[in-house]
Chains A and B, each alone.
Chain A
Amino acid sequence: MSVALIRAEIAKMRRLRTGIIVLVMVVGVTALAVLSALSSPDFSDPGTRSWAALLAGMSLAVPLTSPLLLAVLASRQVDIEHHGNGWLLFQTSGATRGGLCRAKLAVLGAVVCAVTAAEAGLVLLAGIALAVPGPPPLALWWGYAGAVAVVNLVLLGLHILISARVENQLAGLGIGVLGTLLAVFATGLPPLLAHLTPWGYYALATAAGYRDGELVTFVPGYASIAALAVLGGVLFAVFTTRFDRREAS
């Protein structure tokens, strides 16, 4: 993947309203996470406020917001190639369709990582502003953010592939809606079942929640998330390599 391709992808983002989608993601997750914590009975007394409530709020807000917005983000960046005959334009400049998809993942992936970090950082700042007592569990906080970033990247890659393969972008967006449902319901599923779809990994990354009526923190399933990262990376490489060999239609 060349630097020129990455720069071209950044240039194409102009006027695509990527910034607005990113803003909706960050504000949506932060607001939902904080509101969820504030509505929790454990958070009503300032003296008993806990960081776990904010982590639990984030663990609810991320799967509720991210799948569809990731689909929108990928769809907008890929759809322009279908409409602008961009695949052929770049093929005749020596870049392959798979190369374009990899460049899109690199650029949008950086944006998504920054978004995830911003979400985690803003919720952390909200906790400080709300005077949550005690030091924040930073290792768990950023460990959770890292796990979410991995799941986001895998889903982003999946949506880039779908949008590139299926010209009608409603397909990718429909899968995004379905993914939101799967991500939300996966929090109530046994961990084994949550492993079956990439959206289920949001549930495996959960850092806090209620167990037997008690708000407790969890250790995210780092091993499962790492396995998802490897599998997602390999599959993305395989599919984009197949795109490289694909003939112009």
Chain B
Amino acid sequence: MSSYIVTTDHLTKRYGERAVVEDLNLRVPEGCVYGFLGPNGSGKSTTMKMLLSLIRPSSGQVRVLGEPMTRATRRRLLGRIGSLIESPPGYGHLTGAENIGLVRRMLDLEQRQIDLAVRTVRMQDQMDKKVREYSLGMKQRLGIAMALARQPKLLILDEPTNGLDPAGIEEIRRLLRHLADGGVTVMVSSHLLGEIDKTATTLGILAGGRLLFQGTRAELFAAATPDVLIGTADPQRAQALLSGQHDARIDEGLLRLCGLSPDATAQVVSHLVRAGLGIYEVRRQEQSLEDVFMDLTGGGGL
């Protein structure tokens, strides 16, 4: 049996000629926090809506909780999937308790489940206030409580930290870790790597509707090849010696070479030494996860 709670095969969404999501093969492992990253407009929300069957794919398939997500299975599956898409829901003229009561009625839930969800997001003291009096952070937490009330196996959150202050962001992070520890698979999207990279155990990076990377943080680092920096007595001569064979340029007195494998690095060093150049240092440039992400997405307006 598959250990993936969500899989998509060649998932594509087109509006006319324009592909918003193209050939997406997601694999979300059960029990993980899946960080779904990408610049604004990269297709994250569209993908999440397709996972929830709110949007019909142009082609490809979605499987959630081991079943194909179709119009026929949608209602049943949604009873086990909590979600928060776009802005948090909430009727302003009703109190928090009345709002979550609507979800209880719709899904025929028990009060015990509602109380648990409310306590999980620490909103138990705010439920008698009208939602129009809530701060954005409180609305987000109420939205998450509504999603959690059904005790979902899978929680899909679209940019839940949008508009929150640093304390609110940290609170959401803690909540996601707490949920994952409790066995809920969380898929959370963001256009800011820093917001979820410490929380997510698996990352999926989307740009221009295509999946650029999917795997763990360690695999992401491994997939990216940092530049090689060589310190030498005569960088200009070294650059001339390597011209035509490698993309070499001088950067702050060091020779910078892009995309070199370990073997190629050894060959370059050997070549320079044979040419009589003194080599002072050879190292890979240190990269943060942000750098790797930016490289993969091409900057992407982040």
Contact = CB atoms under 8 A, between A and B. Distances in A.
Interface stretch (A77-85, A180-188, A204-212): A77-85
A196 to B, nearest CB: 37
B41 interface: no
Interface residues of A, number: 24
Contact of A84 (B78, B81, B92): B92
Given A93-B78, A94-B74, A248-B54, A84 B105 contact: no
A27 B94 CA distance: 28
A88 interface: yes
B79 A16 contact: no
Contacts, number: 75
Interface stretch (B62-70, B95-103, B276-284): B95-103
A7 B88 contact: no
A8 interface: yes
Given A84-B92, A89-B146, A12 B86 contact: no
Main secondary structure of the interface of A (DSSP, over half): helix
Contacts of A12: 91, 94, 102
Contact of A94 (B55, B75, B86, B94): B75
A247 B79 contact: no
Nearest to B88: A85
Contact of A248 (B49, B88, B94, B147): B49
Interface in A190-249: 247-248
A85 B78 contact: no
Contacts of A7: 105
On chain B, which size bracket covers the interface? 20 to 34
B105 A8 contact: yes
B237 interface: no
B46 to A, nearest CB: 10
Given A88-B85, A88-B89, A93-B78, A248 B55 contact: yes
A12 B105 CA distance: 12
Nearest to B54: A248
A94 B87 CA distance: 19
Interface in B260-289: none
15 contacts: A7-B105, A11-B94, A11-B102, A12-B102, A14-B93, A80-B91, A80-B92, A80-B93, A83-B91, A92-B147, A93-B103, A94-B74, A247-B55, A247-B56, A248-B55
Give the top 8 A-B pairs by smallest Cβ distance, nearest first: A89-B89, A94-B75, A248-B54, A84-B91, A85-B89, A93-B106, A15-B93, A247-B55
